[in-house]
Structures are given as structure tokens and as C-alpha cells.
């Protein structure tokens, strides 16, 4: 049996990490849309594909179905991010970046896409890779109301408080 520790095709960094793979239940709502997969072994995200054809005019946004639904375990979250190549080359991005898929959501994953190009429409075709899904562990803290917060050097310094240089 090949494990990450003894697989000769792995890099030194990959073989140093030996961890169990979390399995996520996935329901194909559209059997013709490919199952999400990583383009490369070490990619954090899997590619999500469009389940429909749509043309986004300059500045237009649309909610695009992916044809899949997932069941994340409690304590995990799915984060939908833009694909860097589409964002750079065509100006296609995910509007509510990152889109959040909670552990108890069971509906179709949909991606809110935005064409940021000022002149050129973007053709989204069925099966096209439109976004990436990163699944990670998430803390589920309990908030406690207090009268005062502890003091820090930063205090209430927010937007722009550290300057630009």
C-alpha cells in the first residue's frame, strides 16, 4: 500500500505531511457536470463548473448553478473563491468573495459571478470552470458580552491606521 510517507512521486514537503483525507458527501444534481477536482495534487481548492450557459455583459452579475450539493461535517466550511486566471485575463470574479457554504446547507452550490470588464461580454459555457471551492476547518466560538475589552497598543485604529509606507 502506498501512503504519503512512502510514495516516491511525492516531493519532500508532501511526504513530510501524513494526514487522513476528509471525505465530503457530494450529490450530483446534474449528472453531466464533472465532479469537482483539483488541477494539481497540492491545490487547496477544487474547481467548480457552470451547469448552464450564460453571457455576462460588462458590469453584469449572475448567480450561476454548479449542479452539485455537498454535506460538510460540523466544524467545516466551504469557501468559494474566484479562479485567478479568469479574474486576471477576463475580469471574471466572484462578487461575495469568499462565498460561504455552511455545514448545514444542503442546496445547490451557486456562484455569484461578476464581469468587471468595462467593454467585453464574458461567455460562460456549461462545464466551464468558474470558481474554486476551498474546504477548511472553522472555529465555532461562543460570544460573551462584556462591559470592557482588554487594551492593546492598536486600540481602535482601523482602516488605514498603519499607513501606506
Binding site for substrate: residue ranges?
83-85, 96, 100-102
Q: Which residue shows C-alpha cell 455545514?
A: 103
What is the grid cell recorded at 114? Answer: 461578476
Q: Which residues, in sequence order, are CB contacts of 149 under 8 Å at separation 6+? A: none
Secondary structure element (H or E) that encloses residue 108, with its range: none
For residue 40, the Cα-to-chain-centroid distance in whole angstroms is 16
Conformation bin of residue 68: beta by default, left when phi > 0, alpha when psi is -120 to 50: beta
> Would you call 87 helix, strand, or coil by DSSP?
helix
Residue positions in the annotated binding site? Answer: 83-85, 96, 100-102
Amino acid at each position: 500500500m502506498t501512503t504519503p510517507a512512502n510514495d516516491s512521486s511525492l516531493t519532500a514537503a508532501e511526504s513530510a505531511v501524513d494526514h487522513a483525507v476528509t471525505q465530503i458527501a457530494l450529490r450530483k444534481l446534474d449528472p453531466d457536470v464533472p465532479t469537482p477536482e483539483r488541477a494539481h495534487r497540492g491545490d487547496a481548492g477544487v474547481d467548480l463548473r457552470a451547469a448552464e450557459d450564460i453571457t455576462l455583459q460588462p458590469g453584469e452579475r449572475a448567480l450561476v448553478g454548479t449542479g452539485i450539493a455537498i454535506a460538510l461535517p460540523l466544524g467545516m466550511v466551504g469557501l468559494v473563491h474566484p479562479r485567478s486566471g479568469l479574474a486576471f485575463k477576463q475580469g471574471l470574479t466572484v462578487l461575495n468573495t469568499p462565498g460561504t457554504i455552511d455545514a448545514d446547507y444542503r442546496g445547490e452550490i451557486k456562484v455569484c459571478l461578476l464581469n468587471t470588464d468595462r467593454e467585453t461580454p464574458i461567455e460562460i459555457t456549461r462545464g466551464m470552470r468558474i470558481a474554486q471551492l476551498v474546504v477548511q476547518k472553522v472555529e465555532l466560538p461562543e460570544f460573551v458580552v462584556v462591559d470592557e475589552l482588554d487594551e492593546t497598543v492598536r486600540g481602535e485604529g482601523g482602516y488605514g491606521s498603519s499607513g501606506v509606507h
